[in-house]
Structure 1
Amino acid sequence: MKILVVGAAGHVGGVARAELETRGHQVIAASRSTDPGVDTSDPESIAALLKAVGRVDAIVVAVGAAAFKPVTELSREDYLEAFTSKALGQVEFVTQGLDYLNDGGSITVTTGVLSREPVPTAAAAALVNGAVESFVISAAPELPRGIRINAVSPNVLANSPHFHDAFAGMVPVTDEQVAAAFVRSVEGNVTGRVLSV
């Protein structure tokens, strides 16, 4: 399969890219810092990337971050930044990506444990992850031509650079466990699922 992996320079995106390449897929890796590059907060940048890559069998999007602050300190700008880069960025890859996906293709977005586990200072991330998961569940029945959509929702990764004290009481997952969830979404036949790891 020809697969576009967006956010491939990040930890989770890199895990997905490496596993899909190992399984013999043709992977095009994109991120802010790679060529081809993309800014997921900019719909025109997303459009340019999709046009440059052309038709694909699958799109994997592992992008976005949110400010970690006490909820009493989060500003409107903090929420908007998180929504623009992660929620709207991933949704944009769905709406624009449909024109580039082959019949029976798939889209995999990423969320995270913060949508379902209370963690201090993570309210913005929880809000955005929950929104993306709700979108996936709602959008799945409407996608045309047998195209599937799922979200991979990993617990905290022990070797992630984003691991910090707020996650200390959580049981981390391995890169291999996260990679298996991406494979299930891309190669399997499930749709409208939040694949919790």
Structure 2
Amino acid sequence: MKVVVIGATGIIGRAIVSELSPRHEIIEVGKSRSVLSVDVLDAASVQRLFAKIGTFDAVVTAVGNVHFGPLATMTPDEFRIGLNDKLMGQINVVLAARDLIADGGSFTLTSGILSDEPIRAGASASTVNAAIDGFVRGAAIELPRGMRINSVSPTVLAESWETYGPYFRGFEPVPAKRVALAYSRSVEGAGTGQVYRVW
């Protein structure tokens, strides 16, 4: 298969590429540090990307920023960061690619554990992750031509523990290599409308 990995330069993205590249042709896409780049917040940029790529069989998105901070002081603009970036950024990819992906192609989005296990200062992230999982379930029953769509919901990464550990007391971090297996399951499996949790 030809698999487009958006966010290929990040921690999870590199692990996905490592997992899938022995079996598939991988098109690596980053925001700025790759041969191919895209701004997922800009629908026109996403459309230009897929026009350049041509035919493909699967798209994986491992991108998206959210704002962490106390709800008591959060502004609407801060809350919108995740809605515009992590949520709409990934939805922009699906909307741009749906008419170009091969019959039976698959989409794999990235949500996260906070949709099920909220933490302090994580109300925005919980909202965004839950919305991504909801989009996947809703889109799965409407996508034509045998297309599939799933999300991967990882817990905090072992590689990011030094930065995010204080937010996740009592959580067990997982290595990116293990998270990448869930993306393999989505891309190479048969499921659709699924949330693959890696906790």
Alpha-carbon offset, residue 127 of structure 1: 0.7
Q: RMSD in angstroms over aligned alpha carbons? A: 1.2
1:152-167 aligned within 5 A? 152-160=152-160, 162-167=163-168
Q: Which amino acid aligns with 2:29?
A: A
Q: Distance in 1 between matches of 2:58 and 2:5?
A: 8
2:143 — aligned with what? 143
Question: Are 2:24 and 1:25 aligned?
Answer: yes
CA contact (8 A) 2:17 2:26 kept: yes
Q: Distance in 2 between matches of 1:118 and 1:142?
A: 30
* Per-residue Cα deviation, 1:104-141 (whole angstroms, up to 9, x for no partner): 11000000001110211111111111111101001101
Q: Which amino acid aligns with 1:189?
A: A
* Per-residue Cα deviation, 1:164-193 (whole angstroms, up to 9, x for no partner): 301121011122321110010000000000
2:42 — aligned with what? 42
Deviates more, 1:160-169 or 1:139-148: 160-169
Task: Give 3-state SS (helix, strand or coil) of 2:19's partner.
Answer: helix
Task: Give 3-state SS (helix, strand or coil) of 2:40's partner.
Answer: coil
1:189 — aligned with what? 190
TM-score (norm 2): 0.95
CA contact (8 A) 2:11 2:176 kept: no
2:73 — aligned with what? 73
Name structure 1 gaps, 5 residues minimum.
Answer: none
Aligned length: 196
Task: Give 3-state SS (helix, strand or coil) of 2:164's partner.
Answer: coil
Alpha-carbon offset, residue 65 of structure 1: 1.2
2:125 — aligned with what? 125
TM-score (norm 1): 0.96
1:48-63 aligned within 5 A? 48-63=48-63
Q: Distance in 2 between matches of 1:75 and 1:13?
A: 30
* Per-residue Cα deviation, 1:26-61 (whole angstroms, up to 9, x for no partner): 001111122211111111111111111111000001
